[in-house]
Amino acid sequence: MEKYQKLGKIGEGTYGTVYRGVIRDSLDSIALKLVRLDDEDEGVPSSALREISLLKQLKHPNVVSLYDVVHSSGSLVLVFEYCDLDLKKYFDNVGGEIDSMTVRSLMHQLLSGLAYCHANNVMHRDLKPQNLLINTHGHSAPQLKLADFGLARAFGIPVRCYSAEVVTLWYRPPDVLFGAKLYNTAIDMWSAGCIFGEIANSGKPLFPGADVDDQLKRIFKVLGTPSDEMWPGISSLPDYKPFPYYNPITSFRQLIPSLCANGRDLIQKLIVCNPVNRLSAEAAMRHPYFQAYV
């Protein structure tokens, strides 16, 4: 740790406290995630080990960089590149409507980071504005990076059963809300769609549910209540229960008034109840919404 100097506290991560710091030689800013190791515990938390192993293999402009890991008695320190703030704080700082080019840029960067993770067999499983870091200094437009991979999982063959206790409630897809344990990268695509709507609505969440039932009700009031015809197998999900029938809203313009027609078309292809029908990150990046941007 003599290479680094710890400065003020930034916040709390999934399993540790995050501080701002500097590299002593260069004075470059860094973020230090301090994981306290309980003597009675069985060593390093699994979420920390998972984040370290995954981030060591993920190198992309839209994924936060892990520079170093320092293990000392009683603690483990993860040394990350420093970012100014997270997307949630960015919303608070902007304090008004985010211009359409910035919305498009942030969404393209989110999809770019996700496409890279998914191509490398990694599901994030906890996408939300607090886990998306933003750099504003030295950049003409905000630079977005996926962070906090404590719940991320590598996936592949054979198919595995995963925990349904993932993804913060407001960004959790209906299949996982109904207890699905067999899922794939579509879990991240639902969250990305929710975040897209939130960016376009200047920080106002699409589905701010109070609990699982309220969350599902809010989703179905917008998308319509799914049936076995629309979503084969829904009624056999572990926590499935019938909901009142709601008609889908006729126009997404009332939900996200600032989005153009192409933007509304893209979000409707991401927030789809049946995970099989959700657009992949790679396909979403080719959507006409981004043609003027790329």
* Options 39, 86, 126, 211, the catalytic residue: 126
Instruction: Check: CB of residue 57 under 8 Å from CB of residue 158.
Output: no
**Does residue 86 carry a catalytic annotation?**
no
Q: How far apart are CA 257 and CA 214, in angstroms?
A: 24
Report which of 127, 133, 4, 11 is spatially closest to residue 61, judged by C-alpha positions.
133
Q: List own/partner pairs for 277-281 with CB under 8 A and 24 or more apart.
A: 278/186, 278/189, 278/190, 278/193, 279/189, 280/115, 280/118, 280/185, 280/189, 281/111, 281/112, 281/114, 281/115, 281/118, 281/185, 281/188, 281/189, 281/192
Q: Is 6 within any annotated ligand binding site?
A: no
Instruction: Report, in this order, helix, strand and coil percent for the chain, each rounded to 5.
Output: 35, 20, 50
How far is residue 209's CA from residue 219's CA, in Å, rounded to a whole number? 9
Q: Which residues are annotated as a binding site?
A: 33
Please list the active-site residues. 126
Q: Which residues are annotated as a binding site for ATP?
A: 33
